[in-house]
Amino acid sequence: MHAAGPQQALTGTLAGDQPVHSVACALDPCSTPKAHLWVAFSSSEVLFAACELGVFDLLAEAPGPLSSAAVAAGLGTSPEGTELLLDTCVSLKLLRVDTGGGRALYGSTELSRRYLARNSPTSQHHILLYLAKTTYLCWGHLAQAVRDGKNQYVRAFGVPSEEVFAAIYRTRTPVRALSIFCRFDAGWGGPSTSSGTGCSGALARECASLYPGCYVTVFDLPEVVRTARRHFPVLEEARVSFREGGGLLVIESLLDADGRGPLTTQLFSLNMLVQTEGRERTPAQYRALLAAAGFTDVQCRRTGGPYDAVLARK
């Protein structure tokens, strides 16, 4: 007997005439169809870790490209781990590398300077940390959420979802209101507009700036309305009522009519499940909900972005 060479090993057979290369492919997740889904979470973790460690901040503030050793020294991280992280960021197009001169020097990309460095006015740094520390952990319990139909905050953090979700409502993240309001000929310039679940008042503020002739009322939970005062120095407490012809604007991601797409909205819907026990809806489902509340004229509009718009009138 003699040992098989490499080519023989790849083309040999096992018991039951199963080719060895078939077994090898079965053991290698990267060789299967849709293999990227098996390890997609790893790419997210690379981005999250680089944000948490301050990689993008350090490189954005540096006078020029830095070696991995210099980055490790600046961050207080291990040289080997830092080099591995930097090289993976380069492969993900989050950073660039210059290997001229016999050594690798790492620098920012336009994307990392604009969206990943925390001092950029368009930075996504903090939402990425939220995704890493909150959303990601909840998604780790997706199977349990499907089993029991409940949000997973208690399992992930040991606290009920109400405590964490209230903090989300206090955010002052800018709202892309123009793409929402321009979807309807709604007569926003009229004397009165109400912003439902107004959060910090950011959406209401944008509405008022686009249509100076309208009077905007934010209604939400008491602690949320208190936060909205930062946008509006004078805010009268009032119950919400709709005059004839008044409208309610709902900003959400719309599912297709059959509920089987788009993929982004389906993922949003699962995210609502694991975090709030909620879900996204189809236009027909929104029409049914709003009709039950007395709204008759319901218009649904796609914006081309992640969030769509539903306008309902009394």
Beta bridge partners of 66: 106
Tokens 């009138």 map to which residue? 313
At the fourth CATH level, which superfamily is domain 177-313?
Vaccinia Virus protein VP39 (3.40.50.150)
Q: Quick one: which H or E segment has residue 252?
A: strand 247-252
Spans of all domains in the chain: 36-116, 177-313
Beta bridge partners of 300: 310
Distance CA 242, CA 156 (A): 40
Distance CA 169, CA 175 (A): 13
pLDDT in tens, the chain (314 residues): 444 444 333 444 444 554 544 444 455 655 666 777 888 899 999 999 999 999 999 999 999 999 999 999 999 999 999 999 999 999 999 999 999 888 999 999 999 999 999 999 999 999 999 999 989 999 999 999 999 999 998 899 887 766 655 555 444 444 455 555 555 555 555 545 554 445 556 666 666 667 666 766 666 667 666 665 665 555 444 456 677 778 888 999 999 999 999 999 999 999 999 988 899 999 999 999 999 988 888 999 999 988 999 999 88
The second-level CATH assignment, the architecture, of 36-116 is: Orthogonal Bundle (1.10)
User: Are 47 and 92 spatial neighbours (Cβ–Cβ below 8 Å)?
Assistant: yes
Write phi, then psi, for 106 (nearest 5 degrees): -105, 140
Beta bridge partners of 105: 98
Cis peptide before 262 (omega within 30 of 0): yes
Handedness of CA 48, 276, 307, 245 (dihedral sign): negative
